[in-house]
């Protein structure tokens, strides 16, 4: 018997049941995938057809199992990611299920889905007015809209709603239930959409040096919950899993990391390397045990290249000023 799990790159893996509860690597994109434990309700196949809208690896159903597994607080949704460099995630909703998204992210929705703009993410509907105002105030600090759009399936059967990435890059599905503490730290504009029940809040960077030179500022987004969340970043995104070692990252290329990891900065070599090496004055460092997501093309780097080469006044690829102007920020 085998367990069928699905990678974000679209490949389906048939994993022997002896790997239940362990992590395996996708042979196509090298992403690390969580194989559901046998105590969780999983599907065992011999040669069964593949579900075109796969459930995230490691996901549990909302109902408690006989083994005493807790019910999810977040709605459980299925999805499919389509496209290459300008991706779109198609979320499949059962009647009564809801997905939340940033304003303006929706591409299309099928019959039976109703949308409503609300203040906040709806993760704590019993909160009072002042508590909700504090929550949306935190979102305003990160530069995001005070409002989020809630898409709910009010019809019968299954229906779909799609959300598009705002610029070239990749959409990454993350099951927050597979992370210790059920939360994830990510860059300010990474969040795209998530199952209802996911809290979108902020995380404060308390280290002055990291806040000033780490590339992410003092305030980052924090996603909390036990359901699916979708984040977006530029270029190609890779997932690295650290086992006690330290990873040095170009500032701006950090997309997300598990919160129990240590995030810091260090000088980019000696003085000659710092000023002439082209990697900036500082590098971000992550150490400990956990997963890190990195992007190859930060939005800041893309926008700088477009502005620098736009029109007759652009610096051009071979300009000395172009190299000198990017000396301090590493781009």
pLDDT tens across the length of the chain (331 residues): 567 777 776 677 776 766 677 777 776 676 777 777 764 443 433 333 334 344 443 333 333 333 444 566 788 899 999 998 889 999 999 999 999 998 889 999 999 999 998 876 766 655 655 665 665 565 566 566 678 899 999 998 999 999 998 888 999 999 999 888 889 999 888 899 999 989 888 877 655 544 454 445 557 888 999 899 999 999 999 999 999 999 988 878 889 999 888 888 776 655 555 455 455 567 888 899 999 999 998 877 777 778 877 766 555 444 444 544 554 455 5
Are both 214 and 149 inside the same structural domain? yes
In a domain, 114, yes or no: yes
In a domain, 221, yes or no: yes
In a domain, 63, yes or no: no
In a domain, 123, yes or no: yes
Q: In terms of Cα–Cα distance, which of 42, 43, 48, 7 is closest to 28?
A: 7
In a domain, 59, yes or no: no
In a domain, 258, yes or no: yes
Are both 223 and 147 inside the same structural domain? yes
CATH of the domain at 246: 3.60.160.10
Are both 147 and 46 inside the same structural domain? no
Are both 138 and 228 inside the same structural domain? yes
Are both 95 and 37 inside the same structural domain? no
Determine the structural domain holding residue 13 and report its residue range: 1-52
Burial class (CB in 10 A: 0-12, 13-18, 19+), 130: exposed
Give the chain's domain count.
Answer: 2
Are both 113 and 170 inside the same structural domain? yes
Look up the pTM and report it.
0.65
Are both 94 and 141 inside the same structural domain? yes
């Amino acid at each position: 018997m085998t367990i069928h799990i699905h990678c974000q790159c679209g490949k389906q893996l048939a994993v022997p049941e002896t790997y239940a509860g362990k992590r395996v690597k996708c042979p196509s994109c090298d992403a690390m995938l969580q194989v559901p434990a046998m105590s969780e309700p999983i599907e065992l196949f011999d040669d069964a057809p593949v579900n075109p809208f796969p459930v995230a690896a490691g996901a549990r159903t909302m109902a408690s199992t006989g083994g005493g597994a807790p019910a999810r607080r977040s709605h459980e949704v299925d999805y499919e990611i389509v496209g290459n460099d300008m991706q779109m995630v198609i979320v499949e909703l059962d009647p009564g299920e809801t997905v939340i998204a940033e304003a303006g992210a929706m591409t299309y929705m099928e019959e039976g889905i109703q949308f409503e703009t609300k203040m906040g993410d709806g993760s704590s509907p019993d909160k009072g007015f002042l508590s909700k105002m504090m929550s949306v105030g935190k979102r305003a600090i990160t530069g995001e809209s005070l409002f989020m759009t809630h898409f709910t399936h009010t019809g019968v059967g299954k229906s779909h709603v799609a959300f598009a990435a705002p610029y070239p890059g990749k959409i990454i599905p993350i099951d927050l239930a597979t992370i210790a503490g059920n939360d994830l730290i990510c860059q300010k504009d990474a969040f795209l959409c998530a199952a209802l029940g996911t809290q979108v809040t902020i995380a404060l960077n308390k280290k002055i040096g990291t806040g000033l030179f780490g590339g992410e500022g003092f305030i980052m987004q924090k996603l909390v919950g036990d359901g699916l969340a979708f984040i977006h970043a530029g270029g190609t995104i890779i997932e690295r899993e650290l086992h006690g070692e330290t990873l040095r990252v170009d500032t701006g290329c950090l997309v997300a990391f598990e919160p129990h990891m240590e995030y810091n900065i260090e000088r980019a070599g000696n003085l000659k390397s710092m000023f002439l090496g082209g990697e900036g004055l500082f590098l971000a460092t992550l150490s400990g045990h956990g997963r890190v997501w990195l992007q190859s093309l930060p939005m800041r780097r893309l926008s700088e290249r477009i502005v620098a080469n736009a029109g007759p006044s652009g610096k051009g690829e071979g300009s000395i000023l172009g190299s000198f102007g990017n000396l301090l920020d590493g781009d």
